[in-house]
Chains A and B, each alone.
Chain A
Amino acid sequence: MKLTGAQAITKALEMEKVEVIFGYPGAAICPFYDALVDSKIRHILTRHEQGAAHAANGYARVTGRTGVCVATSGPGATNLITGIATAYMDSIPMVAITGQVSTELIGRDVFQEADITGATEPFCKHNYLVKKVQDLPRIIREAFHIASTGRPGPVLIDIPVDIQVKEFNFEYPGNVEIKGYKPNYKGHPVQIKKIAEAIKKAKSPVICAGGGVINANATGELQELVEKCSIPVTTTLMGIGSIPSRHELNLGMLGSHGLYAANHAVHNADLLIILGARVGDRAMGTAAKIAEKAQIVHIDIDPAEIGKNIGTSIPVVGDVKLILKELAAIAEKGDVGSWMERIKKTKKDHPLRDEDGAEANTVKPQYVLSILSDIAGEDTIVATEVGQNQIWAANHYRIAGPRSFITSGGLGTMGYGLPAAVGAKVGNPKARVVAVSGDGSFQMSMQELGTIKQEKLGIKIIVFNNSRLGMVREIQKLKYCGRYSQVYLESNPDFVKLVGAYGFKGEVVSGNSQVKDALKRMFSNDEPYLLECIVDPEEPTM
C-alpha cells in the first residue's frame, strides 16, 4: 500500500503491537503527529521529553514490553539523552523516535538541528538515521528486535522530516536478518553441569540475582532452584523482586548500601553464583576480595560482562531463565546445614531495623516504608527516585515479586521516579503505584504532575522532605568532615499546596504516630495523593 513515511511509522508501530507511546511534539516530528491522529495508538503527552523517556522506561519495566518515546529534533532529542542513558545502564528495552531536519539541510546548523545519532551512540544499543523512506519499515523492525532481544537496551531512530512526508510502497518485513547480531540464549550444557557439580560440593553457596533475572522473567525458576538446593539469595538494586523480600532464603540487597547479612554471606561464601548481574561497583566493589575466597559462577546473556569486573571460574553465556531451568533439573543440595544455621543467626543478630521508635517533629522514613509494605498490598508498584529515598525504599519496602520495584540503578538519575511511575501506571492500570522521592529529586520532574492530571492517573506520591540533597550531604559528612557544600534546599515549596494547584489532595506528617492513618487516607481512593514526611537531615542510609 502507498503510505507516507509518517503513516509508515504508525503502521509499523501497530505491527509491532505497540499500544501506547510517550512523547512531546515539535516541528520536525509534525508529520508523524498528524498520522497519529488516524492511528489507534494511545499517546501520552508528558511535560518534558525526559519525562517521556523515563515513562517509556517505567512502562517497559512493569510490562516487559518495549517502551516507546517520541520527540522532535534538536532540543527535543537532546532532552531524551538522559532518559536513554538511564535505560542503557539498566538494560531496559526502549525505542526512541526523533524527528530530524530535512535531509538536504543536515550538517548546516539549521533551526533545531542536532546530531542525535552521534550524541546517543555511547548510550544506546544501536541507532539509525533514516536516509531513504524505503528503509523505514526494515529499520523499525530491526530496532524493535534489537531493543527487546539479547541484553535489552534502547535503540534510537532519527527520521528527517522530508522522509516523513515522502510516499512509498509500504511492506512490513517478516524476518529480521542482522549479520552482526546473533545473541546466544542456550547455555552450554557442559558448563551447566559444572555448576551443578559445584553446588553439590559447596558448603557455603550464595546466589546474587541481578536485573537480568527480572528481564528474563526467571523468578519462578530461581525460586525452584534455591528451594531445592537451599541456597540463600542476595539481590542487587536492579534485582530486587527476584525473590520475595519475606522469603526465608532472601538475604536482602548487597553492597555499599545493602544489608549486613547479605554482605556477610557474600564475603564468606565458597561458591558465588552471579545471575544476570554486571558486578557493579556499588554492589560488588570488593569483587577482587570476594573472588579470592569463593569460586565464581557468572551466568549472563551478555558475554562482554563475564570477566569484565570479576574473574570467573565457570562462565555461562545464555538466557538466565533457560539456564536456571536446566540447572534446577540436575542440581542437588550440598552439605549446607551449618551454613544455613549461620545465615539464620546472622539475620537474627543484624535485623533490618524499621525504626518504629517515635520521634518528635520528624518521621522515620524506614518506618513509613515498612508500614507502606503492610498497607499497600501485593499488587503495588513502587517507583523510587535516587538518593537516600532510594536506599531506604530498597532496604525497607517488602517486595512481593518481580516488576514491582522500579528504580534508576546504573545511572542513578534524579527525576526518574515520578515519570517512571506514570509509565508504570499506564502499563499496569489496575496496580497501585507509589512514587517515593526526596524533596530534591521530586523537584527535578514535578512538571509531570500535569501528565498525571491529564491522563487521570491515580499515582500516590511520598516525599521524604529533609530540605537537603540527602545522599550528597551524607557523603560530605563522611568524606569531607561535614563541610557541607550546596546541599541545603532552603526554599522548598509547600508541596501540599503545589499538588493542590493541580487539584490533588495531600498532607504533611511530622511524627511516626501519624503515619498509619495518613497512609490509610492516601489509599482511601484512586485519586492522586501526596504524602510529605518531614525527615531529619541527619538520618543516614548506612
Chain B
Amino acid sequence: MAKHTLSVLVENHAGVLSRVAGLFSRRGFNIDSLAVGVTENPDISRMTIVVDGDDYTVEQVGKQLNKLIDVIKIKQLDRHDSVSRELALIKVTATAATRAEVIQIVEIFRAKIVDVSKNTLTIEISGGTDKVAALEDMLKQFGIKEIVRTGTIAIERGNKYIRVNNEEE
C-alpha cells in the first residue's frame, strides 16, 4: 500500500491531537507516523501525518479530517515536490573490538555520535526515511539495543507555503 504525507494545519488547542487520533482509529485509517508542533503562528500547530492506504482511503482521510472543526487546512505533499525528514537516536552495541567499524559507518552516513559507554554507542541521524532505514540496516549486525524515532515532517519545495488565509504563491 502506498504511503501519503499530509500536512495539516490545526488550532493549537488542548485535545486536538486526541481528536485526530480518535478519528483515524474510528474510521480504520492506518497512521504510519504523526508529528506535531507549533508553527510561526502560536495559535496554530502543524501536524505531519503519513498515511498508509490507497487513493480512496487518502481522499476519505482528507475529507473526514476537514470535517473536524479544529482542522484549518490540509495539503497532500507530493513526494517529489517536498522535502521530508525524520530523526532517529540509535543505541548500538560497540565494544573496543567493533567501535572503530561502527564509527566508520557513522561517518559515511554523516550521522553524529551523541553518547558513548563501555559497550554502546548512541548515534543521532536525521534524513529521509530511506537514509535512516539504511543506517539501521547497516548497524543491525552489531546489535541494536534501542531505536527512538520522531515522526516524519515535511515541507514543500520552492516558493510555495501553506498558511491559514493564504493562497499558495
- In this assembly, does B22 line the interface, its C-beta being within 8 Å of a C-beta of chain A? yes
CA distance A146 to B70 in the complex (A): 12
CA distance A180 to B64 in the complex (A): 13
Contact A308 B60, beta carbon cutoff 8 Å = yes
Closest chain A CB from B7 CB (angstroms): 15
Residue of B nearest to A302 (CB): B67
* Centre residue among A146, A304, A307 by max chain B CB count within 10 A: A304
Contact A179 B66, beta carbon cutoff 8 Å = no
CA distance A178 to B70 in the complex (A): 9
Closest chain B CB from A208 CB (angstroms): 21
Contact B15 A307, beta carbon cutoff 8 Å = no
Residue of A nearest to B164 (CB): A179
The count of chain A contact residues (Cβ–Cβ below 8 Å) is 17
Contact A179 B11, beta carbon cutoff 8 Å = yes
Find chain B residues with CB under 8 A from A308 CB: 60, 63
Find chain A residues with CB under 8 A from B63 CB: 303-304, 308
Give the interface size bracket for B toward A. Answer: 20 to 34
Where chain B touches its partner, the secondary structure class is helix
- In this assembly, does A125 line the interface, its C-beta being within 8 Å of a C-beta of chain B? yes
Cβ-neighbour of A146 out of B18, B56, B69 (below 8 A): B69
Closest chain A CB from B83 CB (angstroms): 26
- In this assembly, does B26 line the interface, its C-beta being within 8 Å of a C-beta of chain A? yes
Contact B69 A126, beta carbon cutoff 8 Å = yes
Closest chain A CB from B60 CB (angstroms): 6
Contact B72 A180, beta carbon cutoff 8 Å = yes
- In this assembly, does A122 line the interface, its C-beta being within 8 Å of a C-beta of chain B? yes
Q: Write out, one digit per residue, whether chain A residues 426-468 have a CB within 8 A of any chain B CB (1) or not (0).
A: 0000000000000000000000000000000000000000000
- In this assembly, does A103 line the interface, its C-beta being within 8 Å of a C-beta of chain B? no
- In this assembly, does A362 line the interface, its C-beta being within 8 Å of a C-beta of chain B? no
- In this assembly, does B116 line the interface, its C-beta being within 8 Å of a C-beta of chain A? no
Cβ-neighbour of B67 out of A122, A179, A304, A307 (below 8 A): A304
CA distance A122 to B59 in the complex (A): 20
Instruction: Give the contacts of A83-135 with B (CB-CB under 8 A).
Output: 117-118, 121-122, 125-126, 129
Where chain A touches its partner, the secondary structure class is loop
Instruction: Give the contacts of A68-89 with B (CB-CB under 8 A).
Output: none
CA distance A179 to B71 in the complex (A): 8
- In this assembly, does B114 line the interface, its C-beta being within 8 Å of a C-beta of chain A? no
Contact A303 B72, beta carbon cutoff 8 Å = no
Contact B19 A303, beta carbon cutoff 8 Å = no
Find chain B residues with CB under 8 A from A122 CB: 22, 26
Contact B19 A180, beta carbon cutoff 8 Å = no
Instruction: Give the contacts of B45-84 with A (CB-CB under 8 A).
Output: 56, 59-60, 63-64, 66-72
Instruction: Give the contacts of B1-60 with A (CB-CB under 8 A).
Output: 10-11, 15, 18-19, 22, 26, 56, 59-60
Find chain A residues with CB under 8 A from B15 CB: 117, 129
Find chain A residues with CB under 8 A from B11 CB: 179-180
Find chain B residues with CB under 8 A from A181 CB: 69
Find chain B residues with CB under 8 A from A117 CB: 15
Closest chain B CB from A107 CB (angstroms): 12
Knowing A118-B18, A121-B22, A308-B60 touch, does A178 contact B67 (C-beta < 8 A)? Answer: no
Find chain A residues with CB under 8 A from B10 CB: 180
Contact A304 B66, beta carbon cutoff 8 Å = yes
Residue of B nearest to A122 (CB): B26
Find chain A residues with CB under 8 A from B71 CB: 180
Find chain A residues with CB under 8 A from B67 CB: 125, 302, 304
Closest chain B CB from A265 CB (angstroms): 28
CA distance A125 to B69 in the complex (A): 8
Instruction: Give the contacts of B126-169 with A (CB-CB under 8 A).
Output: 164
Residue of A nearest to B10 (CB): A180
Cβ-neighbour of B59 out of A118, A180, A307 (below 8 A): A307
Residue of B nearest to A117 (CB): B15
Knowing A304-B63, A308-B60 touch, does A178 contact B69 (C-beta < 8 A)? Answer: yes
Find chain B residues with CB under 8 A from A125 CB: 67, 69
Knowing A118-B18, A121-B22, A122-B26 touch, does A304 contact B69 (C-beta < 8 A)? Answer: no
Knowing A117-B15, A118-B18, A307-B59 touch, does A179 contact B64 (C-beta < 8 A)? Answer: no
Contact B59 A179, beta carbon cutoff 8 Å = no
Find chain A residues with CB under 8 A from B66 CB: 303-304
CA distance A122 to B19 in the complex (A): 9
Contact B60 A179, beta carbon cutoff 8 Å = no
Find chain B residues with CB under 8 A from A178 CB: 69
Find chain B residues with CB under 8 A from A118 CB: 18
CA distance A308 to B61 in the complex (A): 11
Cβ-neighbour of B70 out of A180, A302, A303, A304 (below 8 A): A180
CA distance A333 to B4 in the complex (A): 44
CA distance A126 to B68 in the complex (A): 7
Contact A180 B60, beta carbon cutoff 8 Å = no
Contact A179 B22, beta carbon cutoff 8 Å = no
CA distance A146 to B67 in the complex (A): 11
Find chain A residues with CB under 8 A from B26 CB: 122
CA distance A275 to B59 in the complex (A): 21
Closest chain B CB from A234 CB (angstroms): 26
Closest chain A CB from B36 CB (angstroms): 15
CA distance A126 to B67 in the complex (A): 10
Contact B60 A121, beta carbon cutoff 8 Å = no
CA distance A303 to B67 in the complex (A): 9
Closest chain A CB from B155 CB (angstroms): 21
Cβ-neighbour of A121 out of B19, B64, B72, B164 (below 8 A): B19
Contact A180 B69, beta carbon cutoff 8 Å = yes
Contact B60 A304, beta carbon cutoff 8 Å = yes
CA distance A121 to B69 in the complex (A): 12
Find chain B residues with CB under 8 A from A146 CB: 69
Told that A125-B67, A304-B63, A308-B60 touch, could you supply 15 new A-B pairs with CB distance under 8 A? A118-B18, A122-B26, A126-B68, A146-B69, A178-B69, A179-B11, A180-B69, A180-B70, A180-B72, A181-B69, A302-B67, A304-B60, A304-B64, A304-B66, A308-B63
Q: Tell me the A residues contacting B by CB distance below 8 Å.
A: 117-118, 121-122, 125-126, 129, 146, 178-181, 302-304, 307-308
Q: Tell me the B residues contacting A by CB distance below 8 Å.
A: 10-11, 15, 18-19, 22, 26, 56, 59-60, 63-64, 66-72, 164
Which 4 interchain pairs have the tightest Cβ spacing? Answer: A304-B63, A126-B69, A180-B72, A179-B72
A sample of 13 inter-chain contacts (CB < 8 A) reads A117-B15, A121-B18, A121-B22, A122-B22, A126-B69, A179-B72, A180-B11, A180-B70, A180-B72, A303-B63, A304-B64, A304-B67, A307-B60
